[in-house]
């Protein structure tokens, strides 16, 4: 009997330890469930309080609200860089404007000059800010960035844009000037008849493929300062970076255009509701493709990459890409090979004074 007691004691002790562990886990699980229930209840109470406050403000306003609500006073400017898939994206805005009830306006400058005269700058700023019949409005055109705060107006538009690998953009533009695209195939282009390839142009030192032709995305973001258009200017590069971060709501990249559209739809559904599906299935999403485009050789790429202008333009492109990927990482998640926009991850609480 003594031997049986000695042998059974460790078993009882082990069972007691296991029972205690199970009990602890059960209690921790119940506590976690209670915490989750409490958090859900707090969110429901917060939403109810917010709804009560909004309703009270709405009742107080009564019939004094202007016919044009704040959200319908919005203006977006897409100062599109040539050959960055800008037509593909703009076509989506044209397809959505009727359904989503906003206006689309093309800024057509003489000879596609991206720099406006001072008097045109004032006219344009006045038009955009005071033309109520065209609000909400989506303006697009090959125009350098304009800082609206310089012109003494209240309210600034939201800027968006898309950038592209600088060599890829130049190659596309080179062949576009010679062969056009499938958007308007019958239109005669400025360099039509010139059969020289991009590789041959670089090899012979042609002007249409010179490193100076790479200098475009930086000045478009830099703006209307004279130094912006000084090819190779470090000041222009830094100003373009500053504007991208501080003055643009979102800057995407051509290589990830669908993600750019998805984030815009999530952030600005007033304009872009339905844009992602339209891009994926619509007939116009990839309509404009440059004809007869031949990829450059490794030797051609290496030669262009020796220039300081390429190094600066590429630095700006990499900067824009890193910023876009940062925004995307906090806006979407991937599941089963598909990207999904994240739901709202904040709420309001502790709202005072309390609603009676």
Note the pLDDT tens digit of each residue in 256-283.
999 999 999 999 999 999 999 999 987 6
Residue 224 catalytic?
Answer: no
Nearest-angstrom CA–CA distance, 238 and 181: 34
Beta carbons within 10 angstroms of residue 175's beta carbon: 20
Q: Which long-range contacts (CB under 8 A, 24 or more apart) does 227-231 make?
A: 228/144, 229/115, 231/309
Q: What is the mean pLDDT of residues 299-324?
A: 98
Of 142, 224, 286, 330, the catalytic one is 142
Q: What is the pLDDT of residues 61-105, one digit of tens each?
A: 444 434 444 468 999 999 999 999 999 999 999 999 999 999 999
- Asked if the model's pLDDT at residue 6 lies above 70, the reply is no
**How confident is the model at residue 282, as a pLDDT?**
76
Q: What is the pLDDT of residues 169-226, one digit of tens each?
A: 999 999 988 876 545 554 444 555 578 999 999 999 999 999 999 999 999 999 999 9
Residue 142 catalytic?
Answer: yes
- All structural domains of the chain: 75-341 (3.40.50.300)
* pTM beyond cutoff 0.85: no
Of 57, 140, 286, 330, the catalytic one is 140
Nearest-angstrom CA–CA distance, 259 and 254: 10
Kindly provide the b/e burial profile for residues 110-123, where b requires at least 16 CB atoms within 10 angstroms of the residue's own CB: eeeebbbeeeebee
């Amino acid at each position: 009997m003594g031997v049986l007691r000695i042998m059974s004691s460790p078993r009882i002790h082990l069972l007691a330890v296991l029972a205690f562990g199970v009990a602890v886990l059960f209690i921790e699980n119940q506590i976690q469930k209670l915490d989750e229930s409490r958090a859900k209840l707090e969110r429901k109470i917060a939403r109810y309080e917010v709804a009560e406050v909004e309703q009270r403000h709405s009742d107080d306003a009564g019939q004094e609200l202007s016919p044009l609500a704040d959200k319908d006073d919005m203006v977006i400017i897409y100062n599109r860089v040539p050959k960055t898939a800008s037509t593909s994206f703009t076509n989506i805005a044209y397809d959505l404007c009727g359904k989503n009830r906003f206006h689309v306006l093309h800024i057509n400058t003489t000879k596609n000059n991206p720099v406006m005269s001072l008097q045109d700058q004032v006219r344009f700023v006045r038009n955009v800010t005071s033309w109520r019949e065209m609000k909400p409005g989506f303006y697009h055109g090959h125009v350098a960035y304009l800082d609206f705060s310089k012109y003494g107006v209240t309210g600034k538009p939201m800027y968006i844009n898309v950038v592209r690998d600088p060599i890829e953009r130049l190659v596309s533009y080179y062949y576009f000037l010679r062969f056009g695209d499938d958007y308007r195939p019958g239109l005669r282009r400025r360099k039509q008849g010139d059969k020289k390839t991009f590789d041959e142009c670089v090899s012979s030192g042609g002007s249409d493929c010179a490193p100076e032709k790479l200098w475009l995305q930086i000045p478009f973001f830099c703006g209307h300062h004279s130094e912006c258009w000084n090819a190779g200017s470090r000041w222009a590069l830094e100003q373009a970076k500053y504007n991208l971060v501080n003055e643009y709501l979102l800057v995407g990249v051509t290589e990830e255009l669908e993600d750019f559209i998805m984030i815009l739809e999530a952030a600005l559904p007033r304009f872009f509701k339905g844009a992602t599906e339209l891009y994926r299935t619509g007939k116009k999403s990839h309509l404009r493709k440059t004809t007869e485009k031949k990829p450059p050789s490794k030797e051609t790429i290496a030669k262009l990459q020796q220039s300081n202008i390429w190094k600066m333009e590429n630095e700006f492109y990499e900067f824009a890409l890193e910023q876009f990927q940062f925004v995307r990482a906090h806006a979407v998640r991937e599941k089963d090979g598909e990207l999904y926009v994240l739901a709202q991850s904040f709420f309001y609480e502790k709202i005072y004074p309390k609603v009676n």
